[in-house]
Each structure stands twice: as structure tokens, then as C-alpha cells.
Chains A and B, each alone.
Chain A
């Protein structure tokens, strides 16, 4: 055992002063006085009636269980968002623009089709109709 350890032990052996015994009653009576006035305060009674402040007492007894539940929810949310992102990525991958070869193939098919069938006429529905002025449209409606 070296001198430093001995010095430390010497310090540790020094007994500390005792607390004045009269303090016990003084301090505890002050605490009880505050306690009873605090418990009887109208705000606290009203809050107790409303059931406020009880949530802690209800939830606190099992902090580990509540923590585990929160962790499970976090995992569920994490999985949910990961799955969502994967779906978006897959969609983006599948809807990516076709390659150059594919485009050429399509163009070739279109050309062959045009040679076989001839020029394609657009159906009537696709042709732009001449839109009558608003005043004439009203007239037509009234005459009908």
C-alpha cells in the first residue's frame, strides 16, 4: 500500500459532523404543512376530479412495456415506409424509357404496318370540331 492510498484512507476515516437533531422536527413539519396545503388546494382537487395528473400513475408502472410497444410501432412504421419506397422504385424502374434498340424496332414495326395498311385516317371523334360562338350555342339551346 503506497503513501497516496494511506492518505486517502486517512481522509476517509474522518467522521463527519452529526446533523442537529432539532432539524428533523422542523424540516418534517414544514414538509407536512406544505404537503397538506398542496393536497387540499382547490386547483389540485379540481384537477383530480377531472382525472388530470393520473395519466402518469396509470402509465408509469410499466415503462419497459410502454417502451417496447413504442419500439414495435417504430419498426412497423419503418417497414411500411421501406416497402412504400421499394414499390416506387420498382415502378420507376419499370416505367423507364425504352432503350435505343427497342425504339428502332418499334419504328420499324410502325413503318411495316403503314406499308401494309396504308395511311391511317383519324376517326371523327378525334377531329377538332368547329366550336360555335357562345351566343349561337345559346340560340340552339333555346330552339331545341
Chain B
């Protein structure tokens, strides 16, 4: 069983990390949630037996755990601390100044999106999931997934268009 956990980690942890980092906008939260997921998998090794799509199932676990974390934090702190407030770059560093500026701007624009739109945009653009898979992973209707993507992308386009046109 330990080998299974390691195999699962090597196969999915990077994707879960990127999703959680983009969703929570906090590296510590990302780590906590990631650890929580792998502890859960170690405790319940048969958890994945019911999953049709392993990646979608793990993203659903990650999404639910991140939302639980947000709720706990809001209750504890008694103030509306939302994911996304922190300025965090979820993209790789680059030496190209134009690319660096675009990635920074993109990260900021993503941070301004509501977290539910951000989750869909991330899964569609960087995870390459279909709307059907996204709907399954986030437990939302297919049309909702599609519309959240469209709204999110429109906002990114509006925000990034000047820079995009300049460095295109």
C-alpha cells in the first residue's frame, strides 16, 4: 500500500498543487490541503476504487478540502478572508521581461476572479479537462461549468488585452 500512495503522489500531486495554489492563492494552505488528501488516501486505501476518473476524483477531494478550510477560517477569524486576496504567482519564473510581466498580470487577474470561476478556468486551461470532467470534479452542472469558464475568460481577456496586444 505505501507504494500505491507514492505512485499516486508522483502521478497527481503536481496537478493538485497547481490547482490548489491557483484556487487558494496561498502556499501554506495548498500544502495543508495536499497533506490532508494524502493522509485521507493512506487511511482509506479503497477510496479510489469507486472513482471512474482518478484525477477528477482527486481534484474533487482537493476542492472540497480547500472549501472546508476556507469555511473553518472564516468561522474562526469572524471576518471574510477570501482566497485570492494574496498576490501570488502560480506560474513559473522566466528571464524574459515581457513574459514575466504577462505572467504577473495573469496571476493578478486570476486572483481577482471569484474562486469558483478561477477553479473552472484553471481546470480547463492548465489541466485540459473537458467541461464534463470539470462538472464532475467540482460537482456542478455542465452548463454552470461552461458559463463560469466563459465569464472568467472574458474577465481575463478584458484585463489582459492591452498587455497582450502590446507584447503579441
Contacts and interface: CB of A to CB of B under 8 A. Distances in A.
Interface string B98-120: 00001100100000000000000
Contacts of B31: 23, 27
Contacts of A8: 125, 153
A14 B35 contact: no
B11 interface: no
State the majority secondary structure of interface residues on B: helix
Contact of B106 (A4, A14, A23, A60): A14
Interface stretch (B38-46, B78-86, B135-143): B38-46
A7 B91 contact: no
A123 B59 CA distance: 89
A18 B92 contact: yes
Contacts of A38: 42-43
Interface string A7-22: 1101110111111000
Nearest to A11: B125
Contacts, number: 82
What class of interface size applies to chain A in its complex with B?
Answer: 20 to 34
A12 B125 contact: yes
Contacts of A28: 5-6, 9, 38
B141 to A, nearest CB: 22
Contact of A35 (B1, B91, B157): B1
B128 to A, nearest CB: 8
Interface of B: 1-2, 5-6, 9, 13-14, 17-18, 21-22, 31, 34-35, 38-39, 41-43, 46, 49-50, 89-93, 102-103, 106, 125-126, 153, 156-157, 160, 164
26 contacts: A7-B164, A8-B153, A10-B164, A11-B156, A12-B125, A12-B126, A14-B91, A16-B22, A16-B90, A17-B90, A17-B91, A23-B17, A23-B31, A24-B9, A24-B13, A27-B9, A27-B34, A31-B5, A31-B38, A31-B42, A32-B5, A35-B1, A35-B2, A35-B43, A38-B43, A57-B46
Given A16-B18, A19-B18, A35-B1, 15 more contacts: A7-B160, A11-B106, A12-B126, A14-B126, A15-B91, A15-B92, A16-B126, A17-B91, A17-B92, A17-B93, A23-B31, A26-B35, A28-B38, A30-B38, A34-B39
